[in-house]
Amino acid sequence: MQEIGVGLIGYGLAGRAFHAPYIRATPGMTLRAVVTRDPAKVHADLPGMLVVPDVATLLAEPGIDLVVVASPDPLHAAHAIAALEAGKHALIDKPFATSLADARRVAEAGETSGKLVTIFQNRRWDADFGTLRRLIADGSLGEIVQFESHFDRWRPTPTGLWKEAREGGAWLDLGPHLVDQAVLLFGQPVGVSLDLATLRGGAPSPDYFHAVLRYERHRVILHATKLAAQHGLRFAVHGTRASWIKHGSDPQEAATLAGRAPGSEDWGTDPIQGVLTIGDTGDTYPVPNERGDYRVFWQTLADAIRGNGANPVPASQAIAVMEVLDAGLRSAASRSEIAL
């Protein structure tokens, strides 16, 4: 097996919880170096890990095949392009970039270098989303007419972290997950309408969004707020045969933040079942969840780098998501639907 050496740019929440543990859990992947200004934080988790002060030093290190870009959003494009021009594969945390133009520049750099560009859309491997895909595929819901997806929170006090001040606010933080799932299921919408607002006192950027993605035969509603005391709803999907309502979140993020290594016996097991309601009879049934597993993304990526499979999230799919995000920002600014 070809060993894949990995360099990680950034050791904030993304680097610490969503990248380093999974790199270490993926057979044939080895984390070789981390770029951060806080070596002590890395060494508390990874004693002996090589910590370097900047991206140039990382790219000069021998044995780095893949660079994971988990730096602040405005640096994504520059860091990814630097890695690609240095002959490395690039994995970019969401959002792909802060602008559609930058996303396209990264994709072009990947084509020019001949190296793989992939975007970290781990929520494709959530337990609830896997369950929904099964229900759609087996016809349990009939034809989908309304798809509603929520990432609500109760965080009434702004934290002061840079992520809460990002341009576009929650739309460029949580929106990439919700848009990616919608586009994966239904393709590009005909039009996008976005209501973007700052509802918390003192919040530096929008903390609320409500998007409507218009398709010819159905509607997709994407919603997030940080002022929902009751925030259990995850999906409400209505079809011509039945509805499926799902509360609760995939448990993998919480497990990783609690320090659990990916791969335990109950990893990705969501105990909160959704409820299927049959339209003609009103009968309701609990729906067992598929098992979530973010490790699938990483193993698929490793196989793709070795030439044994497809890129799990190619740049073309990420640009499609960026097109919707960009249309949403223009919609919010103009208070009108933007056609795609």
Q: What is the number of domains present in the chain? A: 2
Q: Are residues 68 and 170 in the same domain?
A: no
> What distance in Å separates the CA atoms of residue 1 and residue 82, rounded to the nearest whole number?
27
Q: Is residue 310 part of a domain?
A: no
Is the same domain home to 154 and 110?
A: no
Question: Domain of 186?
Answer: 123-292+324-339
Nearest-angstrom CA–CA distance, 105 and 78: 9
pTM of the model: 0.95
Q: What is the pLDDT along the chain (340 residues), one digit of tens a residue?
A: 689 999 999 999 899 999 999 999 999 999 999 999 999 999 999 999 999 999 999 999 999 999 999 999 999 999 999 999 999 999 999 999 999 999 999 999 999 999 999 999 999 999 999 999 999 999 999 999 999 999 999 999 998 777 788 888 999 999 999 999 999 999 999 999 999 999 999 999 999 999 999 999 999 999 999 999 999 999 999 999 999 999 999 999 999 988 898 988 899 999 999 999 999 999 999 999 999 999 999 999 999 999 999 999 999 999 999 999 999 999 999 999 999 9
Same domain for 91 and 68: yes
Q: What is the CATH number of the domain that holds 152?
A: 3.30.360.10
Same domain, 66 and 129: no
Look-up: residue for tokens 């530096």? 204
Q: Compute φ and ψ for 327, nearest 5 degrees.
A: -60, -35
Ramachandran angles phi, psi of 90, nearest 5°: -130, 125
Same domain, 19 and 140: no
Q: Shortest CA distance to 18 belongs to which of 112, 120, 115, 86?
A: 120
Query: Within a 10 A sphere around the Cβ of 184, how many other Cβ atoms?
Result: 17
- Phi/psi of residue 105, nearest 5 degrees: -65, -40
- CATH code of 58's domain: 3.40.50.720
Clarify whether residues 134 and 187 are in a common domain.
Answer: yes
Residue 313 lies in a domain: no
